[in-house]
Structure 1
Amino acid sequence: MKHELPVENRVIELISTLQGAGFEAYIVGGAIRDLLLGRRPKDYDISTAATPEEVRNVFGRRSARIIGKRFRLVHVRHGGELFEVSTFRRAPSPESAAVGPDGRKHEELPEHMILSDNSFGTAEEDAWRRDFTVNALFYDPVRSELIDHTGQGIDDIRSGVVRAIGNPRLRFEEDPVRMLRALKLVGQYDFSFDAATENALFAMLPLIRHAAPSRLSLELEKILSSSYGDKHLLAFHDYGLLEYFLPEIDTAWGSPVCEYALNLFNERNCRVAEGIYRNSISLAMATLALPFVEQQCGSPVGTLWKNSPDARAAIAGVLDRLFRPQTMMNRMTLSAERVLQLQALFGEPKSRPEQLMESRSYAHSRELLLIRTAVQEGDVAELERLWPPVGARRRGGRNDGRNAEGEGGGGRRPRRRRHRSRRGKEPES
């Protein structure tokens, strides 16, 4: 069907290049969902009839790089941005699905779990092998053509329904990470499940243990860098996934320390969504961990914390426990540790902005200071004056709300939403 969607010119150019080389090509997945909902897509995924090698030949080796084993695709740099370009897939045969990239069978895994997904097919075959109807739409921005092979995707987006394509139990067994992605749709868009998909999710939740650790860690990074991360965790808890994904947070759920952590995380996400600050993963980690570090140290920030071996060990231990069993990159964890260690220095009478601004973690640490002050309904404006963004002093004291790294640091205090249960109950305090 003809449908005009506001797609960026560089995306149209990329698809036009593939089509000009003789290959069918579309925008697929979440970008179409966002555009139909009037939201700006975070990124655009492209799917094409061209094989990975053919995509690389079209754009050249300097601009296109083939990645992945389980699911081979191409990273194409075009117009200053990196795009993922995949080849149309068909549902893999049982024989190929049960054999990993190393050629070995993994008999201890669920019977229908897909370990190799490189069976190329047509656009329609690709749509029917996808997870949910709302993710199975194809859009050709050159011809302004919207294609819904399942016949339910457009209606489900309008109605806010997460519906598995085909047999939902089989879909979750093929790839348990689909359960996590389904709940992200529920949390981020306030969608609801159709009955069959919801029943299947509850029945198959333990299979998440079989998902590759690297894929789950990547999903956690996406949640922490998103401005909807608190909503994702809330949906995970409500449906029972959080006990498998982040058991430490699940165990603490409903306690004052966890409610405080979720409120801090919500404040951080609001500031990211409003463009006040960038979506740093290490800052998100530090924000969630702060109340648990205070609990571990037996005191609030500034009264006991010092840059001592004991304090550093306590902070490192909390970060390790809080995000286990997921494995975060060392540089993110170390950055989060520095952000938390620096919090105590903001309360030291002898601390001067000129000294702390030399720290590589000052920008993130200052943002966490403003986040916790806002949640505690303190004087954020006064702190912004006392602790200016990086570079403000070099500009003669002018504070324009931006630091030298382009990170927002001030601005109007927006109205905030505090953490609440999805069922509408007021959290315990």
Structure 2
Amino acid sequence: MQADNISSHIQTSLRVIPRDQHNVSRKDISPNALRVLYRLRDSGFGAYLVGGAVRDILVGGHPKDFDVATDATPEQVKGLFRNCRLIGRRFRLAHVVYGREIIEVATFRANIDDGSGDRETDDGGRLLRDNVYGSIEDDAVRRDFTANALYYAVEDFSVRDYVGGFEDVQNRLMRLIGDPETRYREDPVRMLRAVRLAAKLGFEIERDTAAPIPKLAPLLAEAAPARLFEECLKLFLSGHAVESFLGLERYGLLPALLPESAAALKSNRSGALRRMVLEGLKGTDARVAADEPVSPAFLFALLLWPAYCRDLMGLQAQGVHTAEAQRRAADRVTLHQLATIALPRRFSLPMQEIWLLQSRFQQRQRKRVFRLLSHPRFRAAFDFLSLRTAASDEHSADVEFWREAQQHPNESLAQHEAQHERAGEDGGDEEGGDGQAPRKRRRRRRGAPVGGAAE
């Protein structure tokens, strides 16, 4: 099915910002991106640095990715660069490869399909394929946010603005180009992009751009789960996880992205689970800022922990044996979340291990302590246990014991056994085969999961 682009009525007005009125400099641009720009220009084509790189430099950032827009077709670009490959069906693009760096080159796209191009939408207005080429003005209108529709020209070092993006960047506003509801229906993931970019840049989402989001949030169910997984990584592993999470809450997107966790957080009246999630995301941001790795398995263990706690409590209330309830809750939460986000098994399995190891931190028997210390997922599980103290100080003693046990296991065990002897306990292996804590422990309220899972 072919259709005219609904944004074709948008008026453009070129504003050229000369070099002395902006801070975009060639020293901030990848040398490989400059090579692409100059070769296209020298071959008679128009070529501009466009999008996030221009936007980020304007606000004092240091972009890692550099995209080029041109009037050359993908085939013409390929003809100029031996190190070029063409990709994509929905959007035909040229990738010019320099070692590990890829410069993405896109041909200007048009607003209206006159039948000569290749555009397809579904009945809801969502774009399935868009390869109709046009002018730079057409291309500017086709972009999502005004801040992403700025073009840097190497011939005179100016920034060219067709839709008011330069002023919006100065005012730190995320504004959609065209009618917001229509643009979200074209691509529902734009709602997540609005939140993510606002969090990253410290921008506000412009009022009309923000207004339809809560109503249209359910449209995310139409997005491919694999695409939502990638978008989640961008939301939470780019150094702005806390602000991204708050944005998802603010605009009603959290229930669409993480439905069971959102429901669990809403029902957790103490707010303990939310405190834990925010503390974990704060730690994630700190690791990213320090250029330290963050595992998606740990991230999703954190984001889905409220759902796991809620499911575990429900199963225990039904009388399901604790160890079985833990396994079933982990499987249920993972399976249900897969309907929205395609979480690969290489992340979902260690995520579940992190959850299931939590109850084993209550153990103090010598063999089991050493067995847990040697578990390949121990460190991640211990870090998760430490994080749980943000929700409840119930786990402080466990954290202290296991922190010491990592450095001096024999001394920690000897001290623990001596304390038990002084208390008149024999310190023997009183645990059951399900790996739960010794019988002599503080009484829990009926139905509460072992290990304080539902703080």
Q: Taking structure 1 as the reference length, what is the TM-score of the superposition?
A: 0.72
Q: Does 1:70 align with 2:70?
A: no
1:34 corresponds to which residue? Answer: 56
**Amino acid in the other structure paired with 1:253:** L
Q: Bigger radius of gyration, 1 or 2? A: 2
Cα shift readout 1:52-106 (whole Å, capped 9, x = no counterpart): 233333332xx43322211122333324223433222112439799964xxxx74
8 Å CA contact 2:272–2:390 kept in 1: the answer is no
CA shift, 1:232, in A, is 2.1
1:87 corresponds to which residue? Answer: 107
The 3 A distance-change label for structure 1 pair 345 and 381 is: closer
Quick one: which of 280, 297, 307 aligns to 1:265?
280
Question: 1-side partners of 2:332 and 2:228: how far apart?
Answer: 21
2:143 corresponds to which residue? Answer: 130
Equivalences for residues 191-202 of structure 1 within 5 A = 191-202=203-214
8 Å CA contact 1:268–1:284 kept in 2: the answer is no
**Amino acid in the other structure paired with 1:27:** L
1:243 corresponds to which residue? Answer: 255
2:420 corresponds to which residue? Answer: none
8 Å CA contact 1:10–1:79 kept in 2: the answer is no
Q: Does 1:113 align with 2:126?
A: yes
Classify the secondary structure of the residue corresponding to 1:165. Answer: coil
Once the two structures are overlaid, the 10-residue window that deviates more, 256-265 or 25-34, is 256-265
CA shift, 1:34, in A, is 1.9
The 3 A distance-change label for structure 1 pair 202 and 142 is: same
CA shift, 1:374, in A, is 7.2
Question: 1-side partners of 2:351 and 2:42: how far apart?
Answer: 47
Point out where structure 2 has 5 or more consecutive residues left out of the alignment: 1-17, 315-320, 408-454
1:411 corresponds to which residue? Answer: none
2:347 corresponds to which residue? Answer: 332
Question: 2-side partners of 1:370 and 1:192: how far apart?
Answer: 34
Q: Taking structure 2 as the reference length, what is the TM-score of the superposition?
A: 0.68
CA shift, 1:354, in A, is 9.7
The percentage of aligned residue pairs carrying the same residue is 31
Quick one: which of 55, 61, 66 aligns to 2:77?
55
Equivalences for residues 172-251 of structure 1 within 5 A = 172-202=184-214, 204-251=216-263
1:281 corresponds to which residue? Answer: 296
Question: 2-side partners of 1:384 and 1:22: how far apart?
Answer: 65
1:403 corresponds to which residue? Answer: none
8 Å CA contact 2:51–2:148 kept in 1: the answer is yes
Quick one: which of 317, 328, 334 aligns to 2:332?
317
Quick one: which of 160, 170, 174 aligns to 1:162?
174
CA shift, 1:142, in A, is 7.3
8 Å CA contact 1:225–1:280 kept in 2: the answer is no
CA shift, 1:316, in A, is 2.9
| Superposed CA RMSD | 3.8
Question: 1-side partners of 2:402 and 2:67: how far apart?
Answer: 41
8 Å CA contact 1:97–1:114 kept in 2: the answer is no
Question: 2-side partners of 1:353 and 1:83: how far apart?
Answer: 50
CA shift, 1:298, in A, is 5.2
CA shift, 1:133, in A, is 0.8
8 Å CA contact 1:370–1:383 kept in 2: the answer is no
